[in-house]
């Protein structure tokens, strides 16, 4: 019989806790928000927490100070343990008291623990006796049928919610991998541009030096030949002068041809380097565009469970994919805002 009533307490206080959370959210946000972890109208943490408090602390209801102290400690332990386990199991932090003074890991804080202590005193001494009296009026057989139906519903709800959270985690993981690859491609594009520029500069500088050296050498030879020809010209015949001038003109042509050939090779080298760099850059840009489209598709594939949880827990955080989760939640907020405007 005791287990029977404990199960009833769980569902009654879970439902009442859900009502309190919804009322608080409605007052704060001016709209209905399903604040439960599950899809149905029940908050399991309230059901478990209040049932444990009632079961263990009812014997101390006549000692107000001891009841308050034990309530504060017990509720703090339950809230902290629940938050920690949910964080480790689902990799999400469902509430966060980090900004509150005297908090422990963001799971519990002194102010809320003291408030919960007062609430538990009221429950044990005032509310629970009334709830228990009402439950005694339910026929035992009807109560068992109700418990069986409610247990089936809560297990189905738990399965759907857990599957939705796991789906959200896979979605965040895929989005985080795409974001990392996009960052890597961005780095490669920068390196590609840098290397292409450096190769072009180095090749240009090397060929420029070779061209200057060849030009200088040819100029020296031409000047030496011209000077030598000039000296001979004074002592040779007109025919010899023409031969010398012809040789000088041929030297100039060879110099110009060599210069033009070097310039042509330099231009071909630049084109070849630039073509390779452009091809690699185009491939990276095409991959980047493909990843961006996939990222946008993933960001718009959030399930109903994940959308509801992000609304229900405004301070919910993802341990592994914090930035991606915040981006996903911001997109959801903008979509909701646009719907309200329409």
In SS3 terms, the chain reads as CHHHHHHHHHHHHHHHHHHHHHHHHHHHHCCCCCCCCCCCCCCHHHHHHHHHHHHHHHHHCCCHHHHHHHHHHHHHHHHHHHHHHHHHHHCEECCCCCCCCCEECCCEEHHHHHHHHHHHHHHHHHHHHHHHHHHCCCCHHHHHHHHHHHHHHHHHHHHHHHHHHHHHHHHHHHHHHHHHHHHHHHHHHHHHHHHHHHHHHHHHHHHHHHHHHHHHHHHHHHHHHHHHHHHHHCCCCHHHHHHHHHHHHHHHHHHHHHHHHHHHHHHHHHHHHHHHHHHHHHHHHHHHHHHHHHHHHHHCCCCHHHHHHHHHCCCCEECCCHHHHHHHHHHHHHHHHHHHHC
User: When comparing pLDDT for 187 and 144, which is higher?
Assistant: 144
145 located within any domain? no
Q: What is the pLDDT of residue 95?
A: 77
126 and 226 assigned to the same domain: no
Q: Sorting pLDDT into bands at 50, 70 and 90, what band is 105? A: confident
190 and 124 assigned to the same domain: no
129 located within any domain? yes
228 and 300 assigned to the same domain: yes
User: When comparing pLDDT for 334 and 104, which is higher?
Assistant: 104
User: When comparing pLDDT for 271 and 33, which is higher?
Assistant: 33
Q: By mean pLDDT, which of 10-14, 22-26, 65-69, 272-276 is the weakest?
A: 272-276
Q: What is the pLDDT of residue 299?
A: 64
Q: Is residue 134 scored above 80 in pLDDT?
A: yes
Q: What is the pLDDT of residue 14?
A: 92
- Cβ atoms of 42 and 36 closer than 8 Å: yes
342 located within any domain? no
pLDDT, average across residues 21-29: 80
- Partnered with residue 318 across adjacent β-strands are 92
118 and 238 assigned to the same domain: no
- What global pTM score does this model have? 0.65
151 located within any domain? no
Q: Which stretch, 18-27, 105-114, 272-281, 329-338, has highest mean pLDDT?
A: 105-114
320 located within any domain? no
208 and 99 assigned to the same domain: no
Number of domains in the chain: 2
Q: What is the pLDDT of residue 164?
A: 80
How far is residue 184's CA from residue 178's CA, in Å, rounded to a whole number? 10
274 located within any domain? yes
- Partnered with residue 92 across adjacent β-strands are 318
- Cβ atoms of 114 and 72 closer than 8 Å: yes
> Which residues form the domain of 20?
2-137
19 and 108 assigned to the same domain: yes
**Tens of pLDDT, residues 284-300:** 677 777 777 776 666 66
Q: Sorting pLDDT into bands at 50, 70 and 90, what band is 235? A: low
How many Cβ atoms are within 10 Å of 231's Cβ, its own excluded? Answer: 10
226 located within any domain? yes
Q: What is the pLDDT of residue 71?
A: 93
190 and 121 assigned to the same domain: no
**Tens of pLDDT, residues 241-281:** 565 556 556 656 665 665 566 566 555 555 555 556 667 67
195 located within any domain? yes
């Amino acid at each position: 019989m005791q287990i029977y009533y404990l199960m009833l307490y769980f569902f009654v206080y879970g439902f009442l806790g859900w009502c309190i959370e919804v009322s608080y959210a409605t007052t704060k946000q001016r709209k209905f928000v399903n604040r439960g972890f599950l899809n149905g109208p029940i908050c399991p943490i309230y059901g478990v927490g209040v049932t444990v408090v009632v079961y263990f602390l009812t014997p101390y209801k006549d000692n107000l100070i001891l009841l308050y102290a034990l309530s504060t400690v017990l509720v703090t332990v339950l809230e902290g343990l629940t938050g920690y386990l949910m964080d480790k199991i689902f990799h999400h932090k469902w509430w966060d008291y980090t900004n509150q003074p005297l908090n422990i890991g963001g799971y519990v804080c002194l102010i809320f623990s003291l408030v919960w202590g007062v609430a538990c005193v009221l429950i044990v001494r005032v509310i629970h006796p009334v709830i228990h009296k009402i439950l005694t009026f339910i026929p035992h057989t009807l109560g068992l049928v109700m418990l069986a139906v409610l247990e089936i519903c809560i297990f189905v709800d738990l399965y759907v919610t857990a599957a939705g959270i796991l789906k959200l985690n896979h979605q965040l993981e895929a989005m985080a991998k795409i974001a990392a690859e996009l960052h890597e491609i961005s780095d490669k594009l920068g390196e590609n541009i840098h290397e292409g520029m450096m190769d072009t500069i180095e090749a240009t500088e090397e060929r420029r030096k070779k061209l200057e050296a060849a030009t200088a050498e040819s100029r020296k030879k031409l000047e030496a030949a011209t000077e030598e020809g000039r000296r001979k010209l004074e002592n040779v015949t007109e025919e010899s002068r023409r031969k010398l001038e012809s040789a000088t003109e041929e030297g100039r042509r060879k110099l110009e041809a060599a210069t033009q050939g070097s310039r042509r090779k330099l231009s071909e080298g630049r084109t070849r380097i630039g073509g390779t760099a452009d091809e690699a850059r185009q491939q990276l840009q095409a991959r980047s565009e493909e990843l961006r489209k996939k990222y946008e598709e993933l960001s718009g594939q959030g399930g109903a469970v994940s959308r509801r949880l992000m609304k229900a827990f405004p301070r919910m955080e993802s341990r592994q994919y914090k930035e991606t989760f915040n981006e996903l939640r911001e997109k959801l907020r903008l979509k909701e805002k646009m719907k309200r405007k329409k």
